[in-house]
Amino acid sequence: MTDQSVIEPSGSKPSKRFSRGNIILYGTLIVVSMYYLLPLYVMIVTSLKGMPEIRLGNVFAPPIEITFEPWVRAWAEACTGINCDGLSRGFWNSVNILIPSVVLSIAIASVNGYALAHWKFKGSETFFTILIIGAFIPYQTMLYPIVILLREIGLMGDLAGLVLVHTVFGMPILTLLFRNYFTSIPEELFKAARVDGAGFWGIYFRIMLPMALPIFVVAIILQVTGIWNDFLFGVIYTKPETYPMTVQLNNIVNSVQGVKEYNVNMAATLLTGLVPLIIYFISGKLFVRGIAAGAVKG
């Protein structure tokens, strides 16, 4: 299955006739679209209303008086426990987790994939098979041993520890992605480079990397959304000061203290969803390609 097939409509032009069948088809699609768009719409309008207006009206009504105060408060003042410095702390934590995790996981996985495709050695396929099977093991079975490992190397609760965890758990799918891509590069090219005297790293950097840029973009999209959206590892392997944005968001919204400020909550929720949404809308086709590639893991 080519990736293009996901993207390009196949066959002839859409028919222009408005037959009864077509009306039903478009009608259904529009109704379903509304279901998908509804939560986004509700979040946006709620986040732009003041609390009094929320208590009065219904969630679907557009704001009578638009206010950006909830956004400001969500970013800078929302409270988790005794800390009242807003989601900004979680945002920066997430950024600090995200960048090294994405770089490290992709660097390691791409080299793995390259070695598996072109430098097979005795046992390499076995390790790869274990890695892929590992992707299906529930994380819960590995959570505590990792706590022990991180404690042993002194990274428990540290952002660096979480970076390692993301690298480890991103490895199966990314390695598969890169292995499949590098396998599709003709073997003769690799052989020619060996005759030309390039070694393991020479071939990786000079021949393979320049040819693999599209798959790197796919991998980056996959990892940025995956790591940004992570909650489980963030909760377990960091401490409150280093909580990523998702964890902090959950703590803000679901905190039982104080009066619920729905508008601030929705602004905070939107803020957290903003990074992956931006990635999604600017990457478009590549995102589809990324998840299609991710789907291969099944």
Q: Which member of 146, 173, 176, 267 binds other proteins (CB under 8 A)?
A: 146
Contact status: 18 vs other proteins (CB under 8 A): no
Contact status: 20 vs other proteins (CB under 8 A): no
Structure tokens at 298: 């099944």
Determine the Cα–Cα distance for residues 97 and 91; give it in Å rounded to an integer.
10
Looking at residues 61 to 100 of the shown chain, list those that interact with other proteins (rule: CB under 8 A). Answer: none
| CB nearer to other proteins: pick between 85 and 196 | 196
Q: x/- string (CB under 8 A) for other proteins, residues 122-141?
A: x-x--xx-xx-xx-xxxxxx
Contact status: 295 vs other proteins (CB under 8 A): yes
Contact status: 258 vs other proteins (CB under 8 A): no
Contact status: 25 vs other proteins (CB under 8 A): yes
Looking at residues 43 to 62 of the shown chain, list those that interact with other proteins (rule: CB under 8 A). Answer: 43, 46, 54-55, 58-60
Least Å distance between CB 76 and other proteins? 19
Stretch that binds other proteins, among 63-71, 85-93, 118-126, 151-159 (CB under 8 A): 118-126
Q: What is the 3-state secondary structure (H, E, C) of 135-199?
A: CCCCCHHHHHHHHHHHHHCCCCECHHHHHHHHHHHHHHHHHHHHHHHHHHCCHHHHHHHHHCCCC
Stretch that binds other proteins, among 69-77, 82-90, 155-163, 266-274 (CB under 8 A): 266-274
Which residues make Cβ contacts (< 8 Å) with residue 269, sequence separation at least 6? 43, 249, 253
Contact status: 42 vs other proteins (CB under 8 A): yes
Count of residues making up the chain: 298
Least Å distance between CB 261 and other proteins? 12
Least Å distance between CB 69 and other proteins? 18
H-helix segments, the chain: 4-7, 20-47, 51-56, 69-76, 88-118, 124-134, 140-152, 159-184, 187-195, 200-202, 209-211, 213-229, 232-237, 245-253, 262-283, 285-295
Q: Which member of 81, 119, 205, 282 binds other proteins (CB under 8 A)?
A: 119
Determine the Cα–Cα distance for residues 245 and 78; give it in Å rounded to an integer.
13
Determine the Cα–Cα distance for residues 88 and 93; give it in Å rounded to an integer.
9
Task: Answer yes or no: are the C-beta atoms of 219 and 175 closer than 8 Å.
Answer: no
Least Å distance between CB 82 and other proteins? 20
Least Å distance between CB 96 and other proteins? 18
Q: Which member of 79, 155, 171, 217 binds other proteins (CB under 8 A)?
A: 171
Looking at residues 179 to 208 of the shown chain, list those that interact with other proteins (rule: CB under 8 A). Answer: 186, 188-189, 191-202, 206-207
**How far, CA to CA in Å, does 79 sit from each of 207, 230, 249, 274, 294?**
51, 21, 10, 20, 36
Contact status: 250 vs other proteins (CB under 8 A): yes
Task: Answer yes or no: are the C-beta atoms of 240 and 81 closer than 8 Å.
Answer: yes
Stretch that binds other proteins, among 62-70, 85-93, 116-124, 152-160 (CB under 8 A): 116-124
Q: Which member of 97, 238, 273, 286 binds other proteins (CB under 8 A)?
A: 273
CA angle (170 as vertex; 166, 176 as ends), nearest 5: 165
Least Å distance between CB 67 and other proteins? 17
Q: Which member of 79, 103, 155, 288 binds other proteins (CB under 8 A)?
A: 288
